[in-house]
A and B are shown apart, each in its own frame.
Chain A
């Protein structure tokens, strides 16, 4: 069982709880033909009196994630943010709620946490279920969560560049953008990374990798699409916010010079995708044959 890594993004303010997994064709985060290792990243925003966990990760990482939270959160009150209606965001909400003082859960859907998040074997909806009593809020575009007495703000963003309904977010204090399944294209041969990049050193990314990541998987529909509104929306986001860190759900966190490099690679990939022939109908016949080790 992997213990994962705690990657310090901003000392005592923001930590990435990084959990490697193998790219063997089965994860939905990457194209079926990609091999190597990526990560499930959960982010801990820490204040003296409170903490916020952004995404709760996959079930297979439960023990490692709980150990990391035990060390870092202590007895602080905890807020959970679940920005995607997909498994990567949702799997460990129940065990976290059973062990920590969770005061609120932010969800995409207007429902209660117990109904939505008790989907794993053995997670009975009964008196042992701590999710039942935790208040929930939705995540409207332009809304935000506050962390502790300092009032540290996490802005919610409803991105134009998305496949499934999801939120992105921006941590105002650390200038960190959380872009979900975009910018998640850095994978390595080895599970130990590195999972924090300040520049192009140790960065295997090429324009071809970005294109493959997008067009052979979740963003298959970009080929031949009207991409100008999407390019414009990303540009506007980077004008609106002073983004110094990009913290995706999967793969390496980008900081410093790496931020602009990867923003430019995304824009170039979008522009090139728009010049391609559409493949949307043919995608339905792409095979999903993975190699299971």
Chain B
């Protein structure tokens, strides 16, 4: 199996060559920090992200998601790299959508590295996991607002989720939605997708990759009618928030929701039957 530069080959635990297309500024003051996790699939190398995003305000900056444990040291390294070339205040907030490893696995390390930061969101269990920083863990509910100085993060309902108190976050300034598990889809390294927006990757196959990711990670979708979730997503994104960019934890960022959302919605509808037609 080929080893892709900058990608973590989970089967081999390879040494990581120095190249990775990330970090990347995907909107003014919003940086994408991550590296790919790659798993062999049907003769190709399938990639997935457990991304973290950095939102920069005037008085503070915020991580949104922490990366899975495997990635957290890389997230911190990319943050330090950005600080060499950008004016980035100390992190004051760490927003986590929920307490699963791919979303908050790096929380303890980030709180240790940045002692003035507090964590907000679904922080279930974290007082049992990181007891030394329990006083810096705070639940947040939809409608809560956080000021980074000239920039506000708003807590949004988690429309598509696994754990019950999952929260999404919205950067009001650039109208970027951070939907955690929402809009999760894998990509193929060989398609040149790593580090790119969905719209920059013509061969992305959003429908198939969305359905396939759900087959692995969102088993509950096989037993429910997904249409009410699709309807709520449409209303939230286009009517209520007027979202300009969607920065999912597991997918490629979506820079043109109007153009790309139809394929994502088709992928959501394909989840229920994906395994039946053969994921192998």
Which of chain B's residues has its CB closest to A221's CB?
Answer: B220
A85, B101: Cβ atoms closer than 8 Å: yes
- Across the interface, A281 reaches (CB within 8 A) one of B132, B141, B228, namely B228
For the complex, what is the distance from the CA of A110 to the CA of B1, rounded to whole Å?
15
The answer to whether B70 touches A115, judged by C-beta atoms less than 8 angstroms apart, is yes
Q: B159 at the A/B interface (Cβ < 8 Å)?
A: yes
Once the chains bind, are B130 and A59 in contact (CB under 8 Å)? yes
Band of interface residues on B: 35 or more
Min CB distance A214 to B, Å, is 11
Taking a contact as CB atoms under 8 Å apart, the answer to whether A286 and B129 are in contact is: no
B216 close to A (CB within 8 Å): yes
| B223 & A217 in contact (Cβ 8 Å cutoff) | no
Task: Tell me if B224 and A60 are in contact (CB < 8 A).
Answer: no
- What's the count of A-B pairs with C-beta under 8 Å? 148
Provided the pairs A224-B224, A278-B225 are in contact, do residues A284 and B70 lie with their beta carbons within 8 angstroms? no
Q: Is the CB of A86 within 8 A of B112?
A: no
Q: Nearest Cβ distance between residue B66 and chain A, in whole angstroms?
A: 9
Q: Which of A25-33, A68-76, A195-203, A256-264 is near enough to bind chain B?
A: A25-33
Closest A residue to B159 by CB, please name it: A284
SS class, residues of chain A in contact with chain B: loop
Q: Flag if B162 contacts A164 (CB, 8 Å).
A: yes
User: Which candidate, B102-110, B187-195, B239-247, is the interface stretch facing chain A?
Assistant: B102-110
Query: Considering only CB atoms and an 8 Å cut-off, how many residues of chain A contact the other chain?
Result: 57
Beta-carbon contact of A119 and B223 below 8 Å: no
Cα distance A121–B223 in the bound complex, in angstroms: 39
Q: Given A117, A119, A284, which contacts B108 in the complex, CB threshold below 8 Å?
A: A119
B85-101 residues at the A interface, CB under 8 angstroms: 99-101
**If A226-B223, A230-B223, A285-B142 touch, does A59 touch B128 (CB 8 Å cutoff)?**
yes
**A163 CB-CB contact with B under 8 Å:** yes
| Chain B 141-185 residues near chain A, CB threshold 8 A | 141-142, 157-159, 161-166
Chain B residues near A120 (CB-CB < 8 A): 108, 129-130
Contacts A111-B70, A115-B13 given: A88-B100 contact, CB under 8 Å?
A: no
Q: List 29 A-B contacts (CB under 8 A).
A: A26-B128, A27-B124, A40-B128, A59-B131, A85-B100, A85-B102, A87-B99, A88-B125, A110-B10, A111-B13, A115-B13, A115-B69, A115-B70, A116-B69, A119-B105, A119-B106, A119-B109, A121-B111, A121-B130, A121-B132, A163-B219, A163-B220, A164-B162, A164-B217, A218-B164, A278-B225, A281-B228, A284-B142, A289-B139
Chain A residues within CB distance 8 Å of chain B: 21, 26-29, 32, 40, 58-60, 85-88, 90-91, 109-112, 115-122, 125, 160, 162-165, 216-218, 220-222, 224-227, 229-230, 278, 280-281, 283-290
